[in-house]
Structures are given as C-alpha cells and as structure tokens.
Amino acid sequence: MIAEIILVSLWGGMVALDTTAVLQVMISRPLVACTTAGLILGNLPLGLTMGILLELLYVSELPVGAAPFAEGNVGSTAAATVAVLTARAAPERTAAVIVISLLLAVMISILGGQLVNLMRRMNTHLYTRLSNRRQLKPRHINFAQAGGILMAFLIGFVCVMAASLLFPPLLPLLIALIPINYDKILQPTMGGLLGAGCVFLVHMFWSQTRNKWLLLFGFGIGLIIIYLRVL
C-alpha cells in the first residue's frame, strides 16, 4: 500500500506541474487526473466517477496568468485517491464515500490554492534578489527556474501524500455515523449527476472542436470495450 501511495503522490506532483509550471497538456484536468489515480490504485471505475463529477465542478477554472485560483486539479487527484483507499475499507458504502470525498476535494483545492499563492510570493522574492545581483549569470536563472518547478511538484506530491495517509483511516469512522438508508438517496443522485456530467462534457467537446470524428471514435471504442466486458 505504501508503494501505491508513493506512486499516486508522484502522479499528484505531475498533475501540479501540468497545471501551470511545465507541461500544460491537460493531463491535470480532473477527468484525466482522477481516472489515472483510480487506475494506479486498481479501481478505475471509481476514479472515473470522481473525475466526471469533479470535472463538472472545475470545468470553468483555468489558471491563466497570475490569476488566483483554487488548485482544483491537485485537490481532485487527492480526493479520488482518498475515495479509492476508503472504498477498500467500506466497499458497501461507495455512495457515501463519493459524497464525502467530493467535499474533501473542495477543502484540499482551497488549501492548494493558498500554497500556490505562497509559492508565487517565494518566486517573486527569489527573482527580485536575482534582478539586484551585480553579476547575473544564466546558471542563476536556471537554478531559480528549477526551484520553482520543484516547488510546484512538491505542492501536488505533498497534498496527495498527506491526504492519502490522513483521511482513509478516518473516513470509515465518519461514514459509520451516516445511516445506511441514506445511500438509497445518494446512489440515484450520483447516477443523475454522472448522466448530466457526461452530456455536458460531450456537448462542450462537440461544440468547441472541429475534429468531431475523435468524439465518435472514442464513443465507438467505448462501446467495443463494454461489449467485450459483457462477453
């Protein structure tokens, strides 16, 4: 289990890097990040479920320039990790696990946003000192850039690692306080949200891309996978 947590925490670091610091190839979007976290931990369906729900929450959040934002990508990855690990201890309470994990995602996202602001202030201080140097060399700039990238990676790594170690032992105790009859309400609610989420994401993709064949291709692959699983 420790190896799994380390691996998914490394993925959290990559998610943080992709958000703003290095890549920005959209692997940090909750739909991708949560699904990958579920794949790493051996529960792809739950990871995908968390990804769809959290993508709806953060679909309009784009880290453009120096605009302040909640670190929804890292928070979503951490929440999906917690959901999968908690579901192992309470497999019959999946609906309750998802609801609590969604609330946890918002909390971690807000914390992550504050850490990003702190990182920006540290980078500002560092580059101010660099600009005041009498002899500024390329290696000084490279070192500062590497330091900023490392800090961004650590935000994702530490958030996912801390959430993975702290919350899975506690959430089953909290879930036990929720009457199991409530799951009958939560389960259809989750289904409705998932259905609405899928329709909304398909609409966004269809209306904003010229390569609509990609959507049709992906839909066809999905049908083939479902057919093979049924067989």
pLDDT in tens, 143-178: 777 877 888 899 889 999 999 999 999 988 888 888
CA 228 – CA 34 distance, rounded (Å)? 24
Q: At what angle do helices 94-131 and 72-89 cross, to 10 degrees?
A: 150
Residue 121 has pLDDT above 70, yes or no: yes
- Cβ pair 96, 172 in contact under 8 A: no
User: pLDDT > 70: what percent of the chain?
Assistant: 80
Round the average pLDDT of the chain to a whole number and report it.
81
- Cβ pair 148, 123 in contact under 8 A: yes
Residue 70 has pLDDT above 70, yes or no: no
Residue 68 has pLDDT above 70, yes or no: no
Per-residue model confidence (pLDDT) at position 229: 63
Per-residue model confidence (pLDDT) at position 55: 83
Per-residue model confidence (pLDDT) at position 66: 55
CA 106 – CA 17 distance, rounded (Å)? 20
**How much is the pTM?**
0.77
CA 52 – CA 29 distance, rounded (Å)? 10
Query: Range with the lowest mean pLDDT among 71-80, 121-130, 150-159, 210-219?
Result: 210-219
Question: Confidence band (pLDDT; 50, 70, 90) for 135?
Answer: confident
Per-residue pLDDT averaged across 177-201, rounded? 72
Q: Write the burial class of residue 120 (CB in 10 Å: 0-12 exposed, 13-18 middle, 19+ buried).
A: middle
pLDDT tens digits, residue range 88-102? 988 888 888 888 898
- Taking phi first (over 0 means left), then psi (-120 to 50 degrees means alpha), and beta for anything else, what does residue 78 get? alpha
Per-residue model confidence (pLDDT) at position 81: 95
Q: Write the burial class of residue 195 (CB in 10 Å: 0-12 exposed, 13-18 middle, 19+ buried).
A: exposed
CA 170 – CA 66 distance, rounded (Å)? 36
